[in-house]
Structure 1
Amino acid sequence: MQRNKGGYISAGCAVMLLGTTLAGCGGGTSSDKPAAGNKAAGGAQAEKPLSITWMRFEHPTQALLSDSVVVKEVLKRKNVKLELQSTPQSNYDDKKKTLIATNTLPDVLLVKQDDITNFADTGIFLDLTPYLDKMPNFKKAIADNPEINKTKVEGKLYGFPLAQRVATSQSGLVPVIRVDLLKKLNIPTPATYEELYQAMKKLKEAYPNSYPFTSRAANGLTGTENLVNAVAFAFGSGYTNINGTKVYFEPKDNKYKFGPFSPEFKDAITYLHKLYKEKLLDPDYTTATSQIWQEKLSSGKSFYYQDNTGFGANFNQALQKVDKDAKFDLLPILASDKGVKRGLMYQLDHLAESYVVSAKVKNPEKIVEFIDWMYSEEGIRLTSWGVEGEHYTMENGKAKLKDELYNQFKDKNDPYSAIKSMLGSGYSGLALYADETPAIPYMQKEATEWSDKNLQAIKDGQAFRFAYDPVFTKDEREKLKQLRTQLDAYMAQTMDKFIMSDGAIEKEWDNFVKQCREKGAEQIESIYNAALSRVK
């Protein structure tokens, strides 16, 4: 299952190509143990610890603990005291926006690339460019992951991206359904969206209190954006990019487009309206958090989702405690009524998420030095695997989780996530250059199979990953801010109206498209494609 360059990964809600091989990151020691004579990032160990307020979201599958192994080891090895400030993923975007708007950032804050693009010019984030020559490990990570250079603003680097060295699976916005119920009710396995609709109707008849299809807000996108992205792309159009801008990259044309201009987009919204009207679509799709979404799917309240496939293995574990035959399974990529057959996968990696340092910090050199260490071999091993000999061993050059550690958590719904929570490791923990090698032997069988099928769909040209934004000029960034302000507000209030209200599509669609043009949709397309042309 392990993939190196040219392979794939998934950590929680995101997916990516692998970075470098295990020995590919220099600047550190060959063990996770500190090198002899290694000084802490705040000076000698006898000095007062360097305190860093550190904020990121807490993933619903992995609690962020203030006394994790990583937190304690960082204090021991580097004399750095991490003061974690965690916020549930469902509320994080609002909290982050408030902190940025009021310039009350913690020392280190996890942001999206869109935040850097929009606010780097304000001076609230530390410009890391002058420190690059003092960051050998981060420079090596950039060399191994040149896509990091696309996160620069006017040639300057403001963030430490969440890179990935080794990981386990590929996931995306693809269809997953309760196949045991299809079998029980003699419902044919859907191969098209029309057949999926017919299957949902029969599920609703058998379970009238259910909403067969449920969705959620996730990855910085609203519930509406996450839902429409999956279905609109599958129908041959699209909705937002990875940051929520109302354009998407169209692979068949190799350019950015505004989805609502295409008839396929209208077809997708018409389909969703039909599901909503017949109570086949969960009416909470606009507000459901990841936690609420997971509870519905793991308790038999809903039977279908078009989202991160990896969650299905956990849903199966929960459901099978009550019904041993209960089973979610991945469907083949479904076809629209016009014969379009494609799916949308998560980004190749987490480079669209970065830690920024507040420009107000009093000791930027020391903080930058510490974060650079986290990209070193010692830092990677600690933040990915824990402490050698205590949590993992090295066998033939690869990390292996100790059996006794796994056995402590084997009864959890997601043992490996529980282990990472205790360690404070991985993408959803404190790793900046994560290596998921120890997870490979413990992956659930179905998760491995789904991952392989998703990768095959990409190879077969039936699935495509979210595209990175191109690099914009200052004038383009300012214009995008202005255009998005007026267009996003309009789109937010009208899209749900079309999904929920009878007659709205028939009566108001043409005017909706006209209003989108007047509010700058074509200009956003042009700006994106002009920027894209410069990097071809």
Structure 2
Amino acid sequence: MVGRQFRISAITTTREGLYMTKIWVKGLSVSLCAVMTATSLAACSGGKEAASSENSGSGNAPANAAGSGKLSEKEREVKVTFPEHPNQPVKNFALVQQEIFKQTNIKLKFETVPNSNYNDKKKTLLATNNLPDIIQIDMSDVNNFGSTGVFLPLLQYMNKGMMPNFKKFWDQYPDIMKLTADGELYGFPAIGRNELKNGFGPVIRTDLLQKHNLPVPKTFDELLTVLAELKKLYPDSTPFSVRKGSGPIHQLFKTMAYPLGSGVGGGNGIYFDKDLNGGQYVYGPATPQFKEVLGYFNKAFSMGVLDKDYAVATQQQWTEKLTSGKSFFFFDNSGFALDYTKQLQKAVPDGKFQIIPTPANKTGQARAEFYATTLTDKMFAISSKAKDPETLIKLLDWMYTEKASNLMSYGVEGVHHTLDEKGQPKLNADYVMKFKDGQPTPFYAMYSDLGSGKLSFTPWFANMDPQVQVEKLTGSWSPVHEEYWKTIADDKAYHDPYIDPPLTKEEAARVKEILAPLNTMLEQEYDKFIMGVKKIDEYDAVMKKARDTGGAELEKIYNDALARLKQKK
């Protein structure tokens, strides 16, 4: 009980501090640029003094390991687990990790898991409390496991002044409070810098639209009409293809339910609908609007437009259909349009995938969400059983310095990048050109070689800026890119994502308890309606059962949590 009382006291102090800090920021107009400038100045000093400066953002900040000027006096191996994306294979102890070792005395050993299996593996590690030193988690993991004691609680260290670099972000972005559970922070959030905005969006073969004089669809109904026309013209085609169709929440629903008028959030069915009663949380699968979504996919399936294998298609199969010329449309990460156009043109020289403005749904609305480009719910948690947790705290806090972020996003200064007259990293052309023919793209090949970027272990990441630099240096940048980013910038349907409010320990436990049987029940039903095994009107009974089984209670839990958070601001 003593430990719990101490933590609550620390948390109360932090909340008060956050409130006071918000007022101070408004009064003095402090910006992230000021934070970055301060960090940059620290990075300009040499040797031992530079290392000390970077960790002296607070009067109570700890000094680096005595004598060495490094974070750890002795060499230390730290095991880190995160998902390995198929586009960016992980090289253990890659160039960035080698430099981190030189600067900190900490050797990062990556124990990655294939992206497709990561959630299952992560749940096993969390349930058995068999964690590496550091593991990538998200907010659902915090809600489900934060109270079990598997993660190291962080606010006590910040309150002691041991996280000065991260605290600048804590003060800058009050929404980080939404990543807490019961007032405690269990993970260092991945934060983006200078990111271009995109998200799930509609991508179609615009060359085929032009060739056959077909209009750019302005509504979702028009989209099906256009795809049906393409099916007539190319009978052996699969006009609309999908990846990762199976699971408790289909990829179809994750990407398209919200634009079609309903939603499923990050995968548990709960989402924030800004258009309902001024904005509130809704359990999507238990609403009439979701029945309309199912009806839309059923229509696409029955017309022969939607891939008949949508429920079992892998990402590799999806990619092959799109880049071989067999499929013409997807609604997913729209950035794939740029990669897939290049691959498609090997088979179809004039082929072009391009994003189009978000179509209007049945209510006449066009709506879509950007990906989180600054504050994300991806976090890096420290195991509560890790040895010498204070060194791990120092490591992760150091990663929020501009010097470390430059290293982990652009590689080693003077080798892989230099700083321009404004102090901004510019990739070295000679290094970049080694990846001109890299697969699946030059920038992913470079990120893999460096061990850098958003898909690696990088708490403060730059992703789009180095990507654009690589594309321009290798000649990959083209009018297709210009058109892509302009279309998104001009599309008023997009808005920034919402971060869910923090739940109490009891609420998180109840959500977990509700979702287990609810997901199992619904997972068995979705495909029956899409494939026409059951008539759409029969979903009314499923919808009622979903609400009675816990859907309505989930809405209350999240809306109560949101109201509670608003009262504290």
Q: Structure 1 499/344 Cα, relative in aligned 2: closer, same or farther at 3 Å?
A: farther
- Give the Å deviation of 1:60: 2.5
Counterpart pick for 2:536 among 505, 508, 515: 505
**Following the alignment from structure 1 to structure 2, what is the Cα–Cα distance between the partners of residues 522 and 57?**
33
Counterpart pick for 1:249 among 265, 272, 284: 272
1:453 equivalent to 2:480? Answer: no
Q: Partner residue of 1:331?
A: 356
Deviation string 1:185-223 (CA, Å, 9 cap, x unpaired) is 3333222222211222222233333321122239xx948
Counterpart pick for 2:550 among 504, 520, 523: 520
Q: Partner residue of 2:94?
A: 68
Greater helix content: 2
Counterpart pick for 2:253 among 228, 232, 235: 228
- Give the Å deviation of 1:31: 4.2
- CA contact under 8 A between 1:42 and 1:50: conserved in structure 2? no
Deviation string 1:22-71 (CA, Å, 9 cap, x unpaired) is 86264576548973364876984796521111111112222221131111
Report the residue type matching 1:309 in the other structure: S
- CA contact under 8 A between 2:193 and 2:374: conserved in structure 1? no
Counterpart pick for 2:142 among 116, 119, 126: 116
**Following the alignment from structure 1 to structure 2, what is the Cα–Cα distance between the partners of residues 41 and 200?**
63
Q: Partner residue of 2:308?
A: 283
1:457-468 to structure 2, matched below 5 A, reads 457=491, 460=492, 462-468=493-499
1:358 equivalent to 2:389? Answer: no
Deviation string 1:322-374 (CA, Å, 9 cap, x unpaired) is 32211001112112344232223323435211011111112111111111111
- Give the Å deviation of 1:245: 2.0
Q: Partner residue of 1:35?
A: 47
Report the residue type matching 2:488 in the other structure: N
**Following the alignment from structure 1 to structure 2, what is the Cα–Cα distance between the partners of residues 58 and 350?**
21
- CA contact under 8 A between 1:134 and 1:369: conserved in structure 2? yes
Report the residue type matching 2:544 in the other structure: K
- CA contact under 8 A between 1:160 and 1:356: conserved in structure 2? yes
Q: Partner residue of 1:135?
A: 163
1:54 equivalent to 2:84? Answer: no
- Give the Å deviation of 1:304: 0.7
TM-score (norm 1): 0.88
**Following the alignment from structure 1 to structure 2, what is the Cα–Cα distance between the partners of residues 90 and 66?**
20
- Give the Å deviation of 1:251: 0.9
Q: Partner residue of 1:379?
A: 404
Give the secondary structure class of the aligned counterpart of 2:112.
strand
Report the residue type matching 1:163 in the other structure: I
- CA contact under 8 A between 2:191 and 2:460: conserved in structure 1? yes
Residue ranges of structure 1 left out of the alignment (5+ in a row): 1-18
Q: Structure 1 431/390 Cα, relative in aligned 2: closer, same or farther at 3 Å?
A: same
- CA contact under 8 A between 2:65 and 2:73: conserved in structure 1? no
- Give the Å deviation of 1:448: 4.4
Q: Partner residue of 1:156?
A: 184
Counterpart pick for 2:215 among 188, 196, 200: 188
- Give the Å deviation of 1:141: 2.3
1:476-487 to structure 2, matched below 5 A, reads 476-487=507-518
Q: Partner residue of 2:56?
A: none
- CA contact under 8 A between 1:215 and 1:288: conserved in structure 2? yes
Deviation string 1:392-430 (CA, Å, 9 cap, x unpaired) is 111122211111112111223521222111111111122
Q: Partner residue of 2:132?
A: 106
Identical aligned residues as a percent: 36
Q: Structure 1 435/75 Cα, relative in aligned 2: closer, same or farther at 3 Å?
A: same
1:524-535 to structure 2, matched below 5 A, reads 524-535=554-565
1:166-315 to structure 2, matched below 5 A, reads 166-167=194-195, 169-217=196-244, 222=247, 224-238=249-263, 240-242=264-266, 244-253=267-276, 254-315=279-340
Give the secondary structure class of the aligned counterpart of 2:398.
helix
1:416-495 to structure 2, matched below 5 A, reads 416-436=443-463, 437-443=465-471, 444-445=477-478, 446-457=480-491, 460=492, 462-495=493-526
Q: Structure 1 377/456 Cα, relative in aligned 2: closer, same or farther at 3 Å?
A: same
Question: Computing the radius of gyration over CA atoms, which structure comes out larger, 1 or 2?
Answer: 2
In the comparison of the two structures, how many residue pairs are matched?
509
- Give the Å deviation of 1:261: 4.5
Report the residue type matching 1:523 in the other structure: E
- Give the Å deviation of 1:125: 0.7
- CA contact under 8 A between 1:162 and 1:433: conserved in structure 2? yes
TM-score (norm 2): 0.83
Q: Structure 1 502/22 Cα, relative in aligned 2: closer, same or farther at 3 Å?
A: farther
**Following the alignment from structure 2 to structure 1, what is the Cα–Cα distance between the partners of residues 407 and 34?**
14
Q: Structure 1 438/228 Cα, relative in aligned 2: closer, same or farther at 3 Å?
A: closer
1:84 equivalent to 2:110? Answer: yes
Q: Partner residue of 1:24?
A: 36
- Give the Å deviation of 1:224: 4.5
**Following the alignment from structure 1 to structure 2, what is the Cα–Cα distance between the partners of residues 119 and 35?**
41
Residue ranges of structure 2 left out of the alignment (5+ in a row): 1-30, 53-63, 472-476
**Following the alignment from structure 2 to structure 1, what is the Cα–Cα distance between the partners of residues 543 and 272?**
19
> Structure 1 stretch 264-273 or stretch 36-45: which is displaced more?
36-45
Deviation string 1:366-396 (CA, Å, 9 cap, x unpaired) is 1111111111122111101111111111112
Report the residue type matching 1:53 in the other structure: K
**Following the alignment from structure 1 to structure 2, what is the Cα–Cα distance between the partners of residues 518 and 272?**
25
